[in-house]
Structure 1
Amino acid sequence: MNPATATAADLVTLRVEPLTRAAFAPFGDVIEAAAAASHYAINAGTTTRFHDLAAIDTSREGGRPVLSLFRAQPRELPFTVTMLERHPLGSQAFVPLSQRPYLVVVAEDPAAVPRAFLARDGQGVNYRPGTWHYPLLALEQTSDFLVIDRAGPGNNCDEVELSAAYRIVAAAI
C-alpha cells in the first residue's frame, strides 16, 4: 500500500497513551522532575535542582551537543503518520517551553506499529540514538521547544516512508 494514497479504510488508528517513564523506556527518557536521579537545594535554598534527567549522547563520530529552539506549528487531528526518522549518531531531547500538550510517536523499527504518547505539561522526551520517531507534533497552538541534540560530521538523520499509514484521531486519553 502506498501511504500517500491510503483511504480511510486503509489507515490503522493509533491509540494515544499517557507518556510515562515505564511505557517510554524502550525509546529513551521522559524528562520531568519525577525522573531526577536526585534532587537537592542550591542557591542558598532558593532553588531545587532536579539532577540527571536524561542520558544525553552526542559524542559519536566527533559530534558535540548543540542547544536549539524549535518553534512547532500545531497539527490538526485526525493526523496521518506515513514516515519516521531517526538520528543514529546522537540522542535528541525536546523540552517544551509552553504548558501545552504535544504528541510523541515512536517505533521500535519502521516495520513495527508505532506508539503514540500524549506529553503533558512539564514533560519532555529524550530519544536514544537510533530511535525511530515522527517529527515534532505540537497541538493546540504554536509551541516552542528547547532541543538538545548532536552537531558534527556524518549523516545523523535517516528518514523512511512507512509501508502502512497510521491515523491519530484524538489526543484525549
Structure 2
Amino acid sequence: MKLIYFLLTLITFSANAQIETLNWDEARINGKLELTISKRDFEAVYKKADKIFTPDYADICGSDEDSNFQYYFYKELQYEIDNGIMNFRKITFDKKSSFFFSYKGKKFNANTKIDDLKTLFPEAVKSVDKDAPEAGFLLGSGSDLDDNLWRFTFKKGVLVAIESFFPC
C-alpha cells in the first residue's frame, strides 16, 4: 500500500512541476565508471556478474518479441545488457554499499540526505515531503535524444536508490 502512495506522489510531483534534469553523460559510478560501458570493460574492473537475468519481455513496456536484452546484476548495481553493451538501470544503497553515484562533483551514497541535493535539484527537493517514511522525486534525462527519467528514492530521510527508467 505504501508503494502505491509513493508512486502516486511521484506522479503528482512530476505532473505539477517542471522536471529538473540529470545528464547521463555527466554521471558516474564511483567517480569513474560510465553509465554506458562494454561488458568486457566492466568485467575487467569488477569481474563477473552476481546474476544475469532474462526478463519476460511481455511484462516490460516498450519491449517486443524481438527484444534481446538481459539484466546484469553486480553487488548494488543493475545494468541492462544488449549485444555486449551495458546501460545503467539502478544503484541501491545501504550502509554496507561499496558503490556511490556521482554527478557534477557531488557524491551520492547511503549517507545522502534529501537536503544534500538542494544545490543540484532545488525544485525537486522542494517537492519532497521530508517527514514521510518513504519519499522521492523524478528528474528528466537532460538530453533531447533520451526520454528516460531518473527516480531518487529516500527512506527515513536518506537515499536508498537511484534508478534510470523509460516511462510508458
- The structure, 1 or 2, with the larger RCO (C-alpha pairs under 8 Å, 6+ apart) is 1
* Higher gyration radius (CA): 1
Q: Which structure shows the bigger proportion of residues in helix conformation?
A: 2
The structure carrying a bigger strand percent of its residues is 1
In the superposition, the TM-score normalised over structure 2's length comes to 0.32
